[in-house]
Every structure is written in C-alpha cells, then in structure tokens.
C-alpha cells in the first residue's frame, strides 16, 4: 500500500436532488425527493433539506411523504444527470488517466499516476481545486476524500459530506478507523453486522482485536481474511480506469401488478426495443439475452438464452425475449420486468440466420423482498412531476403535478428567477414534452471564477471566499 494520500474519492452531494435544485430555481434551499412516485416507488435521492425530516435513499416513497409532506417529489431525469456526470468525469480525467467511475456521481482517481499530486500537500490542493472547478462548471458541490487507499478515501469522503474535503494523514489510519462501527467497512451489510454484533464485535478496533482466526471462524476464510485486513487499514486495490460494461439492460417497475398476459408480452417487446437502442448507441452487440421477472410475491426469476454470435438486431432480441417469457409463469401478476444483453462485443454477427438454433437457455431464481429503485426512462403517457415541458406562449417549464384532467406547470429555467405557475388541460395542444435545459455556469458579472485556494481549501488572500 502506498504511503502518500494520493488516491482521491469524489462523491457528489445528494446528486439527483442537487441537480434538480440547480435546474429549478424555485426549489433551491427546499426539501426535494427524487424517485418513483407510484404506490411502490422508493426514494432514489433526498436533498439535505429533506434529510432533516428523516427521509433517505431506498425508503418507500409513501413513508417519505408522511415524514416530509411539503417536500417536492420528482421523477428522475437520468439523461439530464448523465450529461452533468460527463462534465464532472471530464474534470477528473484532466487530473489523471486512472479514473474509476463507480456510478454517475462517484469515482476514484489516482492523482499520483497523473502527476497531479505526490504528497499530502499537493493532494489537498488538487482536491480543493477539483471541488472549485466542479462548482464553476456545473454549479453543484461534491465531497472529496484523500487517502493512501481506496477504502480510506471513500470513508474520508463520507466524513467530508456535505461539500467538504477530508485527508487521512499517513500513520493515522488505525486511529481513525478504530472507534467506527463495523458497518463502516466495505462488505459489512446488515446481515454481517448482526453476526458480528452477536459475537460482541461492534467497532472496527474490536474486529482487529478479534484476530484473523476468529473472523475466519465467524465469517469464512475469504470474508474473514478480507475484513481483518481492512480493520488494520490494509487495502492494496489499485484504481482501475474505465471499467468496461459487462451488460446493457433496462427494466420497469409497475405501480400496479400486470395480470394480463398479452400486456406482459407487449411490455417485454417494448423493453427489448429500448435495450437495443442503448446497445446500438454504445456501438456494441451481445450474445446472451436475459429476461428478468419479479412476480407479485417478490420472487425474482431470470431466464437467459445464448445465441451463436453477438447481435444488435432488434428482431433477434425481441424473438429471444419472447421465447424466454414463454418459459415464465406470470399467474398472479408481475411487478417488474427487465430485458438485458450480456456477452458484449464491439462487432455484430453478420449471419443472423438460425441464431436461435442450438441456443443455450439457462434459468435462475432468486427469492428476495428487495424492491429496486425504478429507473424507467419510457416516454410518459401522463405528465409526471419534474418532467420538462415547453409551452408555445410561456416557454420552458416543468411539471409540478397533474390530476383530474389538469396539469400544473412552473415556468422557469436554470438561469431565471423562480417562475410563475399555470394550470392547463392534460390535452392542451400548446403544451408538449421538452428536453432538459443544460446548467449554465454563472456569468463573469456573477462570479470572478474559482478563487486561488490554500492547502486547506480556503480562499487565498485577495480572492473571493471559497465555496462552503
């Protein structure tokens, strides 16, 4: 493990909610909750103003509404979030060729590999400048952790939230980790945490004191060995640049179980269409078609069919998905459907004749009550809260809510003051869906740009104050 804190972990603060606040002036400083808005929806992200009321990610949306009834509840706009993520990731790649994205709003960076930092002081300067640049380019804030390992950098960024920077000085790692809960360590979820608690182990220091042999006895060789090493602050994992996608998939969670078999078939065909569009947009093809079905009792089935060669042909994917559906009993209702393609390649099998001949069909079944965050990006048949719209007279706006044949729209843009609200008929021909407007950096009159930063992230004398 290296001896300098030159591994950086960036985590954008309440990313989806913060992006919505930045694009909707009337929501700035207010409680915002992003997620599925149906009866089975769950929270994807809650702004810090909403977290004051106890709202958090993965919480059922119905519970969130009870805790924070006056918050703004919005559906996700993933294309918009991806566009912001691309801007942030480009800033990270300017620091180093070794950038390991974990999600749209989170990534590791090896500062040493890019020559951006070589010791604690230069790492702190690089992290502070990155935060300032992110704010200047996107208007959003992110938290930065710096350490000699990926595990410690990620823990540090969590401590830095919101909108801060924490550097773990070499030699202080054990002292920092010791009093923390065992749940702080990667791989310690609720089940492992409860198992350790029953053995009288509550903190990271107690894991270290228990010894490797005891942890292997409690958790098995692989998990016990890894957990003991992490408790000793040992983490040799390198930053791995740009992981290749292993699969491309889409899925929808339905507010009401689908019982009609023809409707299920139509939904699978629609999902296959979306999956192929993503496949082609990425310039990829794949050999294995995967169908995912979550039934009324939360049991999850997967069915897969491996073709003779990779394809991005819509008809082939559609037909394979339909065959896989034929092998699934949907009696009782379906609450989630998904279609995916794996075994990816950057070329397409030219001879598609009899692709299915000799195809290998595999099945798997997973029982579990978990309900994923709905990540549907389908074209909306109804006006959903948070979606972008345009009116021929009033311009760009977003949907505040709809019902009883009416839709309420607030007309504002990322650079405007909080806008006015108007109500229309659902079928008003002057109102149509629109693409999100980009976040525009402040003009020179509003800001003099990122201030020169001292090593602790504060503004250097003579410059404007650094972002809080």
What CATH number is associated with residue 186?
1.10.150.20
Show the domain range for 395. Answer: 388-433
User: For position 255, what pLDDT does the model report?
Assistant: 77
User: For position 244, what pLDDT does the model report?
Assistant: 61
The verdict on residue 429 lying in a domain is: yes
User: For position 273, what pLDDT does the model report?
Assistant: 92
Domain ends where: 312, 335, 366? 366
The verdict on residue 86 lying in a domain is: no
106: annotated active-site residue: yes
Residues 186 and 279 in one domain: no
Residues 420 and 318 in one domain: no
Q: How many domains does the chain have?
A: 3
- In this structure, the chain runs to a length of 468
Residues 330 and 267 in one domain: yes
User: For position 265, what pLDDT does the model report?
Assistant: 93
Residues 203 and 251 in one domain: no
Q: Which of 20, 100, 106, 305 is catalytic?
A: 106
Peptide bond into 91 cis (omega under 30): no
Residues 331 and 400 in one domain: no
Write down the pTM of the prediction.
Answer: 0.69
User: For position 456, what pLDDT does the model report?
Assistant: 40
User: For position 41, what pLDDT does the model report?
Assistant: 80
User: For position 57, what pLDDT does the model report?
Assistant: 87
Cα 59 to chain centroid, rounded: 15
The verdict on residue 264 lying in a domain is: yes
Of 40, 42, 74, nearest to 58 by C-alpha is 42
Residues 213 and 318 in one domain: no
Residues 182 and 277 in one domain: no
The verdict on residue 152 lying in a domain is: no
Residues 224 and 255 in one domain: no
Low-confidence ranges of the chain (pLDDT < 50): 348-381, 442-468
Q: Name the percent of the chain in helix, strand, coil, to the closest 5.
A: 30, 25, 40
User: For position 242, what pLDDT does the model report?
Assistant: 63
Q: Can you spell out the DSSP letters for 250-274? A: EEEEEEEEE--HHHHHHHHHHHHHH
Residues 223 and 253 in one domain: no
User: For position 453, what pLDDT does the model report?
Assistant: 39
Residues 251 and 326 in one domain: yes
Of 289, 281, 306, 285, nearest to 349 by C-alpha is 285
Cα 145 to chain centroid, rounded: 19
The verdict on residue 200 lying in a domain is: yes
Residues 272 and 335 in one domain: yes
The verdict on residue 345 lying in a domain is: yes
The verdict on residue 422 lying in a domain is: yes
Contact in structure between 373 and 36 (CB atoms under 8 Å): yes
User: For position 123, what pLDDT does the model report?
Assistant: 96
Residues 402 and 325 in one domain: no
DSSP 8-state assignment for residue 97? S
């Amino acid at each position: 493990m290296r001896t300098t804190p030159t591994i950086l972990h960036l985590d954008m603060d309440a990313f989806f909610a913060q992006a919505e606040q930045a694009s909707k002036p009337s929501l700035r400083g207010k409680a915002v909750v992003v997620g599925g808005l149906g009866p089975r929806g769950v929270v994807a992200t809650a702004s810090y103003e909403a977290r004051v009321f106890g709202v958090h990610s993965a919480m059922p949306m119905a519970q969130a509404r009870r805790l924070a009834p006056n918050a703004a509840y919005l559906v996700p706009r993933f294309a918009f979030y991806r566009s912001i993520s691309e801007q942030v990731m480009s800033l990270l790649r300017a620091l180093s060729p070794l950038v390991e994205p974990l999600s749209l709003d989170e990534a590791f960076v090896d500062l040493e590999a890019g020559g951006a930092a070589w010791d604690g002081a230069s790492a702190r300067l690089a992290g502070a400048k990155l935060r300032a640049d992110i704010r200047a380019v996107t208007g959003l804030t992110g938290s930065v952790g710096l350490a000699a390992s990926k595990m410690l950098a990620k823990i540090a960024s969590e401590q830095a939230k919101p909108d801060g920077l924490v550097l773990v000085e070499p030699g202080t790692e054990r002292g920092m980790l010791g009093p923390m809960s065992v749940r702080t360590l990667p791989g310690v979820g609720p089940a492992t945490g409860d198992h350790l608690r029953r053995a009288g182990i509550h903190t990271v220091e107690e894991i270290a004191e228990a010894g490797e042999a005891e942890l292997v006895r409690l958790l098995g060789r692989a998990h016990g060995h890894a957990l003991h090493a992490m408790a000793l602050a040992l983490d040799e994992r390198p930053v791995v640049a740009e992981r290749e996608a292993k699969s491309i998939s889409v899925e929808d969670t339905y507010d009401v179980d689908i019982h009609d078999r023809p409707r299920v078939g139509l939904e699978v065909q629609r999902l296959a269409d979306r999956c192929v569009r993503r496949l082609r947009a990425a310039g990829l093809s794949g050999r294995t078609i995967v169908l995912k079905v979550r039934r009324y009792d939360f049991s999850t089935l997967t069915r897969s069919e491996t073709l003779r060669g990779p394809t991005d042909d819509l008809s082939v994917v559609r037909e394979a998905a339909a065959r896989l559906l034929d092998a699934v009993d949907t009696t009782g209702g379906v609450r989630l459907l998904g279609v995916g393609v794996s075994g990816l390649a950057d070329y397409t099998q030219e001879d598609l004749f009899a692709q299915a001949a000799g195809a290998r069909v595999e099945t798997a079944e997973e029982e579990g009550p978990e309900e994923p965050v709905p990540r549907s990006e389908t074209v909306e048949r109804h006006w959903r809260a948070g979606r972008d719209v345009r009116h021929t007279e009033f311009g760009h706006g977003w949907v505040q809510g709809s019902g009883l044949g009416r839709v309420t729209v607030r007309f504002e843009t990322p650079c405007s003051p909080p806008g006015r609200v108007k109500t229309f008929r659902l079928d008003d021909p002057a109102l149509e869906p629109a693409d999100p407007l980009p976040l525009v950096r402040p003009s020179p009159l509003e800001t003099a740009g990122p201030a020169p930063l001292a090593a602790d992230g504060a503004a250097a004398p003579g410059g404007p104050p650094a972002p809080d």
